[in-house]
Amino acid sequence: MKKVVVVGGGAIGLLTSLLLARAGVTVVLIESSFVGRESSWAGGGIVSPLYPWRYSAAVTALAHWSQDFYPGFGQRLLEDTGVDPEVHVTGLYWLDLDDEAEALAWAAREGRALLPVDIAEAYQQVPVLGGGFQSAIHMPGVANVRNPRLVKALRAALAAMPNVELREHCPVTGFIHENGQIRGVTTAGGEIRAERVVLAAGAWSGELLKTLGLELPVEPVKGQMILYKCADDFLPSMVLAKGRYAIPRRDGHILIGSTLEYAGFDKTPTDNALESLKASAEELLPALKDADVVGHWAGLRPGSPEGIPFIGEVPSYPGLWLNCGHFRNGLVLAPASCQLLADLMLGREPIIDPAPYAPAGRLH
């Protein structure tokens, strides 16, 4: 395998390209707009599923591998590019969970550090927390990554590689299908040929597969976030209650998210979501009543059944590989998903069992 086209320049497409390029493959990465400016830019960057115990073993396997990989990954990107993705280990408190017993049972089964803490201790550790919470569980090792910096670092790493070509503002219109094989893609600027094509176009992946008559159950799910700026030490830990979370960055920016809306490809921020997110923010952290919202945006997650991504070759179209459908967990699952795909494409021993993610039997 000498040359691969990767369609989609989000975190998944960028990291897939980096791993293949490091193995000596020539990579052409194609992005319809700017690299890394869709879901990868818009998310919160918690290096854990919001409620890890509510997911299948397939998601858990990818998440655990990635969580262990992130700190060294962030450090290597900083050394290679001078851009710090800011992998920030803060821990995470879940407050007033309905399924706390299930969470603790999952942690015991999986060997993950997740412990009940006295609510007084939670208030001691996070003094800015709003009043009235009754119970808490804590996972100390959870990090967040500053996702815009992560995609910037990945882009810089690729730009420095002689065997990588980045093509932005280059929408893909279809696939080159010859002699039963996928042999590249068609774009507004002409054909781009390669031995294999990787589709990593997030919420847009299903639209592209329709050009081959395939139905991929991946749909856009809108998420809106707001951003505050506080003192650097305002919030020492991530906190999550009633499905909403607060994430501290190292410089005092606090992200509050997020909505879950099925609104097609519309990603316009709305006043209703702004008010709802502000109410959640002030319930979690009342001091934010006096802080200004410095950002409000929306992104489109690639929604998929049970949040299980599609990773592997499409049996009916040899040469076409998928790495998409990560739903709410693209940044969490990216390292493992991309390593697994690279292992499969390069004929290496895969890091985990690839069967749950295989497109075979999951496309219509």
User: Is there a contact between 340 and 350 (Cβ–Cβ < 8 Å)?
Assistant: yes
Report the residue count for the chain: 364
Q: How far is it, in rounded angstroms, from Cα 64 to Cα 69?
A: 9
> Mean pLDDT, to the nearest integer, of 233-249?
97
**Percentage of the chain modeled with pLDDT above 70:** 100
Domain range enclosing 120: 92-140+219-303
Q: Say what angle helices 147-159 and 11-22 make with each other, to 10 degrees.
A: 30
Q: Identify the pLDDT of residue 1.
A: 83
Same-domain pairing of 158 and 96? no
Residue 75 lies in a domain: no
Give the pLDDT mean for 143-169: 97
Residues 113 and 224 in one domain: yes
Q: Is 126 in the same domain as 31?
A: no
Decide if pLDDT at 348 tops 90: yes
Other CB atoms closer than 10 Å to residue 97's CB: what's the count? 18
Distance of CA 179 to the CA centre of its chain: 35
131 part of a folded domain: yes
Residue 219 has pLDDT above 90, yes or no: yes
Do 202 and 244 have their domain in common?
A: no
**pLDDT, average across residues 20-35:** 97
- Please state the three-class secondary structure of the chain as a single string: CCEEEEECCCHHHHHHHHHHHHCCCEEEEECCCCCCCCHHHHCCCECCCCCHHHCCHHHHHHHHHHHHHHHHHHHHHHHHHCCCCCCEECCEEEECCCCHHHHHHHHHHHCCCCEEECHHHHHHHCCCCCCCCCCEEEECCCEECCHHHHHHHHHHHHHCCCCEEEECCCCEEEEEEECCEEEEEEECCEEEECCEEEECCHHHHHHHHHHHCCCCCCEEEEEEEEEEECCCCCCCCEEEECCEEEEECCCCEEEEECCCECCCCCCCCCHHHHHHHHHHHHHHCHHHHHCCEEEEEEEEEEECHHHCCEEEECCCCCCEEEEECCHHHHHHHHHHHHHHHHHHHHCCCCCCCCHHHCCCCCCC
- Nearest CA to 146 out of 72, 88, 222 is that of 88
In a domain, 67, yes or no: no
Tokens representing 227 are: 């951003």
- 341 found inside a domain: yes
Given its phi and psi angles, is residue 243 left (phi above 0), alpha (psi -120 to 50 degrees) or beta?
left
Taking alpha carbons only, the member of 240, 86, 57, 200 closest to residue 152 is: 86
What does the pLDDT read at residue 132?
96
Report yes or no on 73 lying in a domain: no
> Using CA atoms, how far apart are residues 344 and 352, in angstroms rounded to an integer?
11
| 315 falls within a domain | yes
pLDDT tens-place string over residues 248-289: 999 999 999 999 999 999 999 999 999 999 999 999 999 999
175 and 129 in a common domain: no
Please give the pLDDT value at position 5.
98
* pLDDT digits 0-9 by tens, 90-142: 999 999 999 999 999 999 999 999 999 999 999 999 999 999 999 999 999 99
Output the pLDDT for position 102.
97
- Please, are residues 276 and 231 in contact by the beta-carbon 8 Å criterion? no
Number of domain units in the chain: 2
Question: What's the mean pLDDT when you consider all of the chain?
Answer: 96
Q: Is residue 72 part of a domain?
A: no
pTM over cut 0.85: yes
Q: 271, 286, 303: which is the final residue of a domain?
A: 303
Per-residue pLDDT at 364: 78
Amino acid, res. 301: R
Residue 115 lies in a domain: yes
Residue 222 has pLDDT above 90, yes or no: yes
Task: Flag whether pLDDT at 34 surpasses 90.
Answer: yes
- Contact assessment for residue 25 and residue 16, using Cβ atoms and an 8 Å cutoff: no
Q: Which two tokens stand for residue 166?
A: 């980045």
Mean pLDDT over 285-304 rounds to: 96
What is the model's pLDDT at position 173? 96
pLDDT digits 0-9 by tens, 41-96: 999 999 999 999 999 999 999 999 999 999 999 999 999 999 999 999 999 999 99
